[in-house]
Each structure stands twice: as C-alpha cells, then as structure tokens.
Structure 1
Amino acid sequence: MVPIESEIENTITSLYILEELLKPEGFTIGSSWDYDSGYFDYLLDNKDTYYYLRIPFYAVAGSLDYPGVTVRMDKPFLLAHEYKKGNDEDAGVGAIQGAFDQFQSPSNPDGDMPPEYIDMGKDMIRKVEQLIVPS
C-alpha cells in the first residue's frame, strides 16, 4: 500500500455528488463497503497484478444505504493485488460450492507498486482534486 497526500482528505460532501463526479472518470464503488464506510476504486492496470487507486470514505451523516448520505473522504492510496496463475486451487468442488468460490484469493494482497503506477495514481488524484476541492 502506498499512501498519497491529497487535498481531498477530510473533504465532506454528498456521496451522490461524489458518484456523479468520479464514476465518469472510471471510478467504481468497491464491493467491500458497509453501512459506515466504503471505497472509490480506480483500476490502473490488471496484467498479472491488479493495480488500484483507492479513495476511502466514511459516512458522517446517515448511512451508505440511505439516500442523501454525507461522507468524509480519507487519504487515498495505491494498492496492488497479485493473483496466482493457472487454476484456482482454493475453489471447492461442485456447482453450488463453485458459485461461492469462483474468484481466486490473492497470492499477495499487498504487492509491490512500480513507480509508473505511483505516478499514474498521483496524476489521477490531481484530476480528482480539480473536480472535488473548491477553488
């Protein structure tokens, strides 16, 4: 994990507004959200390793499953997930088990971050700052 200093840290705004600004840029809300917190993820690359720019956010008024929730953005960071090559040895046998175990677990959930992806992540954060931070 590589933290990125940014002016968006501690910015408080509507989650709806953030979605309207960030989704057209390629961000998605990561699947690991709960009622109090979540992440905007931006996929930088996915060749053998998935490289993400991740912007965490936390509910400050309401909960994430409630329309109109207000969130505070936290420090962005870069994340690398290295995946095993070949068949998924962790997957269970059978159609029912396969439905639950269809995705490989990362072989290294916190892989090395090459400098070019650090630069790409910093460039994208500068773009996000221009969208979100008031002038």
Structure 2
Amino acid sequence: MIALKSKIEGKTVVFGNALKLFKEAGLDLGGGWEYDHGMFDTILYQREETTIYLRVPFQVLKGMLDSPNTVIRFQTPFVIKHVMNIGLDEEESPTMTVTGLEQFQAPQDPDAPIDRQHEFAIDAQMKLDQITEDVMFASA
C-alpha cells in the first residue's frame, strides 16, 4: 500500500456533491461501503490477475451514506494492489454456488507488494490532483 499526501485529506463535504465530482473524474463509490464509511476508487492498472487501485476513503460525520445530503470527511488516499485468486475455491459452498450467490473469490493477496511504486504513486497523485480543487471548492 502507498499512502498519498493530498489536500483532500481532512476536508468535509456533502456526499452528493462529492459523488458527482468523483464520478466525473472516473472514480466510483467502492462496493464495500457501509452507512458510516466508504471510499471512492478507480483502477490505475489491470493485467491478468493483478489490479492496482487508487482509493480515497472517507467517514460519515452526519447522516447515512444512502442520502446525498450526508456530510463526509476524507481520510488519507492510497494506492493498493490486489492479486486475484484464479484457482479453485477450496472454501466454496455447494449451496451458494448452485443458487448463484457465490460469484467471487476473495483476493489471493488483497495488499500485495507494488512494483514500480514511484510510477503508480505519480499516476495516482495526478488523478487525485485533477479533482482535489473541485472537491475543496464544494467543501461544506
């Protein structure tokens, strides 16, 4: 994992405004969000089973994440590498597989070491800088 320095860290914004700005910049709300926290993310690099993401986590300060009026505060953005598990799932549940509920395996390594760290850090920083000014302008 590579932590990034950014002016966005610690900024408080209205979630609906941030969601719009991040989507325009190519980042989506990550699928693992909860009502009290989440993250925006995008793929920086993907090849075979390796994916490198830029992630911008945040905490909910007021409201719940399913409302556009929710107030959030950004935390430290980071770059992370996932290595997917391509083999058979030893933990699979026959019932879940038959019903179609078990579609994905856990990553083989959800925080693998990142080769070319400097290159990915620069790419991530450039992407983050593209939206930082807009997000700061929309601060609550």
The one-character-per-residue Cα deviations of 1:24-60 (angstroms, maximum 9, x if unpaired) are 2211111111111001011112212111100011111
Aligned to 1:30: 30
Residue aligned with 2:93, SS: coil
Unmatched 5+ residue regions in structure 2? none
Unmatched 5+ residue regions in structure 1? none
The CA distance in 2 between the partners of 1:105 and 1:7, in whole Å, is: 33
Residue aligned with 2:38, SS: strand
The one-character-per-residue Cα deviations of 1:62-116 (angstroms, maximum 9, x if unpaired) are 11123411111111011111012344444333xx412232112111110122322
Contact kept, 8 Å, 1:59 with 1:71, in 2: the verdict is: yes
Aligned to 2:124: 121
Aligned to 1:72: 73
Of structures 1 and 2, the one with the larger relative CO (CA 8 A, separation 6+) is 2
Residue aligned with 2:6, SS: coil
Which one has a larger percent strand, Structure 1 or Structure 2?
1
Residue aligned with 1:78, SS: strand
The CA distance in 1 between the partners of 2:35 and 2:86, in whole Å, is: 34
Q: What RMSD over aligned residues (CA atoms) do the two structures have, in Å?
A: 1.6
The CA distance in 1 between the partners of 2:58 and 2:28, in whole Å, is: 13
Residue aligned with 1:108, SS: coil
Letter of the structure 1 residue corresponding to residue 128 of structure 2: I
TM-score by length of 1: 0.88
Residue aligned with 2:59, SS: strand
* Bigger mean CA deviation after superposition, 125-134 or 52-61: 125-134
Aligned to 2:110: 109
Give the percent of matched residue pairs that are identical in Structure 1 and Structure 2.
Answer: 30
Contact kept, 8 Å, 1:53 with 1:77, in 2: the verdict is: yes
The CA distance in 2 between the partners of 1:91 and 1:26, in whole Å, is: 33
1:131 aligns with 2:134: yes
Contact kept, 8 Å, 2:16 with 2:67, in 1: the verdict is: no
